[in-house]
Each structure stands twice: as C-alpha cells, then as structure tokens.
Structure 1
Amino acid sequence: MISRGNRGNALEALVAGLRGTPTDRADWQAVIALANRTLLTPDLFSSLARAGQIHQLPEDVREYLRFVHDCNRERNLRLRTQLGEAVAALNRSDISPLLLKGAVPLFLSPAGLVPSRMTSDLDLAVNPRQETVARDCLEELGYVDVAGGRGMARQQDAGMLELRSTRADCYQPPKLIQRHGLRVKIPPAQSRAMHWMVHDLLKEGDYWRGRIDLRHLHDLARLAENEDVDWMSLHGSMSDRSARNALETQLLAMHHFFGTRIPAKCAKRPIVRFQHWRRVFTATHPIIGAPLRLAGNLMWGIWRFSRAYGLARRGPLDVLRRIARTLFDPRTKI
C-alpha cells in the first residue's frame, strides 16, 4: 500500500514511466501499487518497452510488469475474440453496432497485436429500434443479464458485454468500418474524447470532486498524440460554461502530466487554473488536501441526489447509502 506521504513521488514516477522516461531512485513498490490501482500497469510496461527503457528497471520490477502485461495481453485477445463473435451475430441480423471506449482499440488493432490498455468490459450501442433484436442475438450466444443491470455475461468469457442505445445527440456521426468481414461503427476521435470527458468530469463529478481518472487521462493523451483532435471545436460544442470549464481543466491536466499540446487560451482563466491545482494537490497530498476533496464531494453529492434521484421519493436509508457510495467510493481515481 502506498504511504500517504509518498503518493506525490509515486505519481510523478508513474507518469514519467508512462512517458517512457523512468526516474532515478523511484520507489517501485509505491509506483506499482499506484499503477495497479489506476489500471495502468500493462501500459507502464509497454511504454517503457517502446522507449527502450524497460531494462533500466530492477529485475524484479521488470519481471512483475512483464507478467501483468502478458496476462493482460491474453485477456485482451480473449476479449477481442468475444467482441468479434458478438459483432458477427449482430451483423447477421443486419445490425452494425457502435463500438465505445475500450472496444474501439480492440477492434482496430492489427491481427497479431492487441492494445496494452486494461479493458474491464465491452461496450456496444445500437439504434433503439434494434435493441430488442440485438439482445435476442446475444441471448442466442448464451449471454444473460447480470444482476444490477450492469450488462450481459457468459461464464466462459473474460469480461461482460454492455449493450446500450445510441443517442441522437452524438457530437459527430460515426464512421462505418469493415474489417475481417465484420461491420461496426466507430466514433470519430473528437467524439471519443468528448465521451471520456463528459463521463468522468460531469457524469461522475470528477470536476467538482477534484478527482483524476489517470487511465482515461492517459487514453486522451494517446488519442491526441495519434489522431487530429480539434480541441477548440470540442470546446465550442460543450453545453454550458461549467462543461467548458471542465474540458479546459482536463486539457490542462493532460498538458501537465503528459505534455499534450493544448490551445493556449485553455490554460489562462483563473477558475480553470484553480481547479487544476486543486485536483493535482489532492492527488499528491491526500492528507492535507482531504478538506478540499471532502468539500467537493459534499457539493457534488448534494447536487446529484437532489436533482437526479429525487430525494423525496426515496427512503432515508437509501439516500444515505447512495451518499456514502459517492463520498467514499475509491475505484480507480486519484
């Protein structure tokens, strides 16, 4: 477990490793613990290997990272096979599913390679009119609903499959891609970036709560590195000032941690710079920064449950349970 006083050094060393430049005298036990928590251990290995720096690590650290990377590679191969089977079944019913999040790089990666990103499940979306037929197709493959409405699963698979309805308010229309006899729709890079930002900063409240999903931040940085993302166009598409503030705060974090080039105007406004400082400070100083995070959690919890859940229609125990889950859910955030 990472000692609280060492969190900042571990975070700095992890980010340096993800950038392919390992730091000298890193506390690798703390770095690995943080990488495991943020689901970035395979990416850490692959980043150092691509940069030719993996042999700079102590042997036991190198072998542990290689072991986790190889296990994740085998799991991703199974996930890709599972994804191909599901897409083929949907195609036979003339459905071309929209791939989301981790399913996109799994599908697009070359046959002999898979991405090092840890993927928890497979996210697919279909037209609402096709959802019933799509569910029937998956049930014929043996999928059953998971308790709690979190998706569909089979005992033999490496992960769950989540089927959802496409929305009419997509930022940009998806592209139809055909590969290996399979047809899917892939959101453009800017739509994928918007999805991650809206999900983390607004839906999960990371902007108010002062949290950072380092894995998604790394995803965004890699996306910006490999594809042409028009951040100003994305900025202009945001619904209101709070959403634009959140986007600018995330861009500043990408620049701070991974050196991503961002529009200069996104780093100037005081509210954005304060929010960025608050997120970095609480991530690197969890004890001193606890009051800041608690205040953000309280504001987010009050806003979310008063507007989204309808407190008057729920019992007090249910409300308290939801608030506690919001305030103390550790998940993979820092």
Structure 2
Amino acid sequence: MMHKGNALEALVAGLRGCPDDRADWQAVIALANHCLLTPDLFSSLAHAGQIHRLPQDVREYLRFVHDCNLERNLRLRAQLGEAVAALNRRSIVPLLLKGAIPLFLSPPGPVPSRMTSDLDVAVEPDEEATARACLEELGYVEVAGARGMARGQDAGMLELRASRANGFEPPRFVQRDSLRVRIPPAQSRVRHWMEHDLFKEGDYWRGRIDLRHLRDLAQLAETDDVDWTALQASMWDRGARNALDTQLLALHHFFGTRIPAKCAQRPMVRFQHWRRIFTATHPIIGAPLRLAGNLAWGARRVLQSDGLARRGPSDLARRIARTLLSGRTKI
C-alpha cells in the first residue's frame, strides 16, 4: 500500500504534468477524488502530452471523470449565464467569485476542467433583496441548512451574497455577448481565497490544506501579476500575516510558486508549515496534532457564536460536530 505522502507527491507531480512512473495509481486517484482534483489531473497530463504514460485503465477512468465534469461545467456555465441575464434585466451587474469566474471567462466552446461545487455571485448590499427576488422568479428556492439557492434541474447551487470592500483595486466590468458582470482583480481573488480557507474555515489553526484552492492560487500567480508583498502588508495583524505566509510556503512547497524570501523567517510560520505538511503526509501519527487544532478551532468558533447561552447544550454539541466534520475535501 502506498504511503499517503507518496500519493500526495505523485498527485502534485501529475498536476504539474510530470507523472510518477512508480506511483500507486489507485492511491493517487483516491486522493485526487478526495480533493476534487481528478478532472484537473487528467487535463494537466493530457496538456503536457504525458497521459500515454499512465496504465490504460487509469487513463480510461480519468478521462471518464473528466468528461463527466466537462458536461457538468457546461451546464453550470449555462445556469450562470441565465442568472446573469436575469439580474442584468433588473439593472444589476453581479460580481462573480471563485469558480464562477473561469466559467464565465472561458471561450464559447471549451470550459475549464476545474471541478466547481457551486456558483458564487455577489451584488451590492442594497441590491441583494432585488437580486434574491429575481432569482426566485427563475425558480430558485433557499436550501435549508445550506448557504445557497437551488433548482431541481440544475447541476449546482447558486450562492448569492452581498459584496464588500477589500482594500484593493475595484473590480473591472466584463461583457460577454449581452451579459455584463464584474470581475475582481487577481489580488482581490487571491485574498478572498486565502481568507476563506485560512480564517473562515480555520485551516490555519486546524492544520489543513485545501489542495484544490492551492492549485487555483498557483495558477492565478502564473497568469496574473500578484503582489505578495502588498498582500502581506494588507493583513490586519501579526497572526494574520503568519497565516498568509504559511499559505505562501505551501504554495512554494507544492507548486514551486515564487514567493518573498522573508515568508520563512519567523519561527511560528516555519512551525505551522511543518505541521500542515506533516499531518497531510502522515495522517496517522499526525492525528494528535490535527485533533488539537480541531478542538482549538471548534472552541474558538463556539465561543464566538452569538447567543450561545440561550441556545443550550444540544445546540452547542451540534455546532461542535458541524465544525469538526466540515471541510471533508481537505488534507
């Protein structure tokens, strides 16, 4: 049986277009499925002209998953276009976030291989009620227990939220055919992803890595001019800068992204980077580290919840369980 660290190394090598001839592909595929990276693995190897080096059954499986995801992304793109058109008719130009951006910007024929869980769309705070009513007219309904709206015929949920300032350049207006949207600059997209993973989902404290988002960041750094120094300066305190630098070290470790040399200067950053890599590659012996981080983060979230005393112990137990079980696609 292949060690998980070796499977992770083989998966990252495949994502960089360099398949490991000694890889246990069953273990690599299991990890790729867990991280929602299987379609990307196929497309990376095919684009590099290396897909022929894989065993035939592995190639066929990866192609099957890739083609299924391709069909789903086509449906998601059509769903996004319908929603944007309806909002435009109400004089609302939505701000696209995360996976909705490459779907919208992709050429008319092909779509990205990235596996997208849902469509994230933001509007100005004073437009949110109108936008929600507009989507309800299209048949969308709020999903109980989830942040999003959905319809039975769609490939994924649509999450509508109010936009907020981020301190970087304002979004640019983009028009495709008759559809008008706003796209955040690369700097803002990077910060959004990092804040979501490191702070909102607690990956910095819990010692987890979202490899799919990390690959998104690496690809964004390759195609756009991301100023890591400015991003560091925008962090609100030393703890936030430590979290950012820890994520940058992971970017460099897995995908070779060029980062400022000073990222590794602080002992806390080096320790947190080591802890994340160690628990990702040694899940059994690293379990105590992961458990300690989960408990610390769970306690942090519970204590920060408003009205905790009024909700009682049963709600407290549900919140702890939900916090500890979230993020099942991370390593």
Tell me the TM-score normalised to structure 2 length: 0.97
Task: Tell me if the contact between 1:171 and 1:237 (Cα under 8 Å) persists in the aligned partners.
Answer: no
| Structure 2 Cα separation of the partners of residues 251 and 217 of structure 1 | 9
State which of 176, 188, 197 in structure 2 corresponds to 1:191: 188
Matches within 5 A, 1:116-131: 116-131=113-128
Report deviation, 1:324. 2.1
Q: SS of 1:95's equivalent?
A: coil
Question: What's the counterpart of residue 60 of structure 1?
Answer: 57
The aligned counterpart of 1:134 is 131
Contiguous gaps of at least 5 residues in structure 1? none
Superposed displacement of residue 305, structure 1:
1.1
Can you list the C-alpha shifts for 1:269-310, whole angstroms capped at 9, x where unaligned?
Answer: 211111000000000001111111111111111112112344
Matched, 1:150 2:130: no
User: Aligned pair 1:21/2:21, yes or no?
Assistant: no
> Out of 89, 92, 99, which is 2:89 matched to?
92
Match of 1:76 in 2: 73
Q: Please give the alpha-carbon distance, in whole angstroms, between the structure 2 residues aligned to 1:308 and 1:317.
A: 14
Deviation at 1:330, TM superposition (A): 5.3
Q: Does 1:162 align with 2:134?
A: no
User: Match for residue 207 of structure 2?
Assistant: 210
Per-residue deviation at 1:149?
4.5
C-alpha distance in structure 1 between counterparts of 2:159 and 2:122, whole Å: 8
Aligned to 1:290: 287
Q: CA deviation at 1:9?
A: 0.9
| Cα separation, 1, equivalents of 2:325 and 2:91 | 44
Match of 1:37 in 2: 34
| 1:96-129 per-position Cα deviation (integer Å, ceiling 9, x unaligned) | 0000010000001111111100001111011111
Give the match for residue 177 of structure 1. Answer: 174
- CA deviation map 1:38-82 (0-9, x unaligned): 000000001101111000000000010000001000100110011
Following superposition, the deviation at residue 268 of structure 1 comes to 2.1
Q: Match of 1:237?
A: 234
Structure 2: 5+ residue stretches without partners = none
SS at match of 2:315: helix
Q: Which amino acid aligns with 1:94?
A: S
Residue in 2 aligned with 1:326?
A: 323
Task: Kindly indicate whether the alpha-carbon contact (under 8 Å) linking 1:87 and 1:184 is maintained by their aligned counterparts in 2.
Answer: yes
Q: Is the 8 A contact 1:123 1:162 kept in 2?
A: yes
How many angstroms apart in 1 are the aligned matches of 2:203 and 2:272?
A: 10
The C-alpha deviation readout for 1:235-277, integer Å capped at 9, x for no partner, is 1111111111111000000000000010111122211111000
* Structure 1 CA distance for aligned equivalents of residues 305 and 228 of structure 2: 29
In 2, Cα distance between the equivalents of 1:164 and 1:149? 13
- Greater Cα offset, 261-270 or 62-71: 261-270
Structure 2 Cα separation of the partners of residues 113 and 149 of structure 1: 30
Q: Between Structure 1 and Structure 2, how many residues are aligned? A: 331
SS across alignment from 2:180: strand
**What is the SS of the residue equivalent to 2:3?**
helix
Structure 1 residue 318 displacement after superposition: 1.2
Alpha-carbon distance, 1:169 to partner: 4.0
Amino acid at match of 1:270: P
SS of the residue corresponding to residue 75 of structure 1 reads helix
Q: Does 1:227 align with 2:224?
A: yes
Alpha-carbon distance in 2 for matches of 1:101, 1:150: 15
The question of whether the paired residues in 1 share the 8 Å contact of 2:42 and 2:63 is answered with: yes
Residues 173 and 181 of structure 2 are in contact (CA less than 8 Å); yes or no, is this contact kept in structure 1?
A: yes
Structure 2 residue matching 1:286: 3-state secondary structure: coil
1:311 CA drift (Å): 3.0
Take 2:108 and 2:114, find their aligned partners in 1: how far apart are those partners? 16
User: Take 1:226 and 1:143, find their aligned partners in 2: how far apart are those partners?
Assistant: 35
Contact kept in structure 1, 2:166 and 2:188, CA below 8 Å: no
Give the one of 227, 247, 271 matched to 1:250.
247
Q: Aligned Cα RMSD in Å?
A: 1.2
CA distance in structure 2 between the partners assigned to 1:298 and 1:115 by the alignment: 37
Q: Secondary structure at the match of 1:178?
A: strand
Whole-angstrom distance in 1 between the partners of 2:26 and 2:241: 38
SS at structure 2 position matched to 1:78? helix
CA distance in 2, matches of 1:30, 1:22: 14
| Distance (Å, rounded) in 1 between the aligned partners of 2:36 and 2:306 | 30
